[in-house]
Amino acid sequence: MMRRVAVLTRHNKGRLISQALLELGWQLTELDSFDTDSLGSFAGERPRFMSPDECALRKAAIAAELSGYDTGIGSEGSFAPGPYGIGTFNLELICCVNISAGWAVTGRFYGPTNVQQWTISNNEALDQALASVPEGQKLLVQQHRYIRKGLSPAEARQQAGSLLINGGEFILGFDLRAHCCPERQQHIRLAAADLVQRIKHQCARCSTPGFWPDKPISGLPCEECGTPSTLTQARQACCQRCGYTETYGSEQRYAAALYCQVCNP
């Protein structure tokens, strides 16, 4: 018998997540009765007041409450500068909460993404920007408090014409909501697959899902002098319910001297 679970979304995320959940024998129901933008929006009309993890957990809890199911799912995405400030990275979180059993597991994707935004002041700049928009990617145009979202390139061009005539420059950018961003849709699918794998890994002592080696332990010895480096030598899984832990050693036995504070101070 399939378990019924609910996801809270107004951006058609159910179709992106449901296929992965079939591996668990779960049937997903979409709930759109709650305004998820009230927890913060990508375009900035409503500021975000929770961290991405907190927001995904909150959405999952609301999904369980509104549906009456034991299990709720919440998805949250965010964008930030990549490591060392290079490029833009997308973090996608999919949190699953089981109210009756008292556990929460979060799957994730983190990686580089193509996010674009332009300040447009003339038709030449507009043409160059629109020519680089990937297929299926929707756009938004913003000028002061005026904002239009979910636009095709043709629709964005139409909006731009009047804005350039009447008000000068405006902002043109990718609409990063899930149903408007094909690249983000793929990242959500990957986060859903990660969630399923984490749920399948259960604590050996109490069988609580989410027993995953998330905690890095540094100290991989230098290949030249043996001094512990800052690189990860093991990862630890810890049960959220009973506290049972297991440690998994890294496949790499030594760190290159490049990462040693003695050999390369």
Report pLDDT digits (tens) over 193-223.
999 999 999 999 999 999 999 999 999 999 9
Looking at domain 3-114+183-200, its CATH architecture is Alpha-Beta Complex (3.90)
* 178 within 8 A of 32, measured Cβ to Cβ: no
Query: How is the chain split into domains, by residue range?
Result: 3-114+183-200, 117-175, 215-259
Q: Note the Cα 18 to chain centre separation in Å.
A: 16
Range name among 23-37, 161-175, 233-247 with the lowest pLDDT average: 161-175
User: How do beta strands 170-174 and 117-120 pair?
Assistant: antiparallel
Q: In what order do the strands lie in the sheet with 103-112?
A: 26-31, 3-8, 71-81, 88-98, 103-112
pLDDT of residue 182 exceeding 70: yes
Task: Report the pLDDT value the prediction gives residue 42, as an integer from 0 to 100.
Answer: 62
pLDDT of residue 166 exceeding 80: no
Q: Would you place residue 179 in the very low, low, confident or very high pLDDT band (cuts 50, 70, 90)?
A: very high
Residues 224-242 have a mean pLDDT of 95
* 34 vs 23, more confident: 23
Q: Which DSSP string corresponds to the chain?
A: -PEEEEEE-SS--HHHHHHHHGGGTEEEEEE-SS-GGGG--TTSSS---S-HHHHHHHHHHHHHHHH--SEEEEEEEEEEE-GGG-SEEEEEEEEEEETTTTEEEEEEEEEE----EEEE-SHHHHHHHHHTPPTT--EEEEETTEEEEEE-HHHHHHHHHHHHHHH--EEEEE--SGGG-HHHHHHHHHHHHHHHHHHH-B-TTT--B-----EEEE-PBBTTT--B-SSEEEEEEE-TTT--EEEEE-S---B-GGG-TTT--
Q: Tell me the whole-structure pTM to 2 decimals.
A: 0.91
Give the CA count within 13 Å in the CB-facing half-sphere of 58.
Answer: 16
* 160 vs 173, more confident: 173
pLDDT in tens, 26-67: 999 999 988 887 887 666 667 777 899 999 999 999 999 999
